[in-house]
Amino acid sequence: MYQNFESRRSPVFGSREEDAAVMAYYALRESWLNKDAIGDGGRSFGAWQQRNAAGRADLGTQARAWLALLHEGARICPESPAAPLSGGCSVARSTADRRANKARQLLEEAKRTVATE
C-alpha cells in the first residue's frame, strides 16, 4: 500500500517544503528522530510512532506511510490535517496545530537565514 503512495499529491500545508518541515518536526517530537523507537507500551513504532506495520519498516516506508496518513487527515479533518496523527480531529487539534505552526515558523526562519548568508 505505502510503496505505491502517489508522490505527486498536492501539499497539505501549502508547499512540499512545509509538509516536509511538519513531517520532520513530528519525527523529532515523537521519537527524537529514532527510526527504531518503540513507544506507547509497545504499540507505536518508528520515527513517527505509527501503530501499523509501516512503523516497523525501513525509514522510507515509515515516511511514505506518515505522509499518506497526513493526506488522509486532510481529507477527514481539513481544518487541522495533522490532528488524526496526534489522536483525533477534536482531541488532538491543539497539539497538531501547535506542532504544524512551529514547524512552519522554523522553516521560514531557516529560509530567511539561508537567504542572508
Task: Examine residue 38 and state whether it is found in any structural domain, yes or no.
Answer: yes
In a domain, 83, yes or no: yes
| CA pair distance 115, 8, nearest whole angstrom | 27
Q: What is the pLDDT of residues 15-45, one digit of tens each?
A: 999 999 999 999 999 999 999 999 999 999 9
Looking at the domain assignment, is residue 5 inside a domain?
no
Specify the number of domains making up the chain: 1
Is 53 contained in some domain? yes
pLDDT at 9 over 90: no
The confidence band for 1, taking pLDDT boundaries of 50, 70 and 90, is very low
Q: For residue 2, what pLDDT is reported? A: 47
Domain of 39 in residue numbering reads as 10-116
Asked whether residue 108 is assigned to any structural domain, the reply reads yes
Q: Is residue 15 part of a domain?
A: yes
Given a cut of 70, whether residue 6 has pLDDT beyond it is no
Residue 66 cell numbers, joined: 506518515
Q: Do 89 and 77 form a contact (C-beta atoms < 8 A)?
A: yes
Give a yes or no: residue 19 inside a domain. Answer: yes
Answer yes or no: are the C-beta atoms of 46 and 55 closer than 8 Å.
yes
H-only helix segments in 11-92: 16-31, 59-76, 83-86
Q: What is the pTM of this model?
A: 0.90
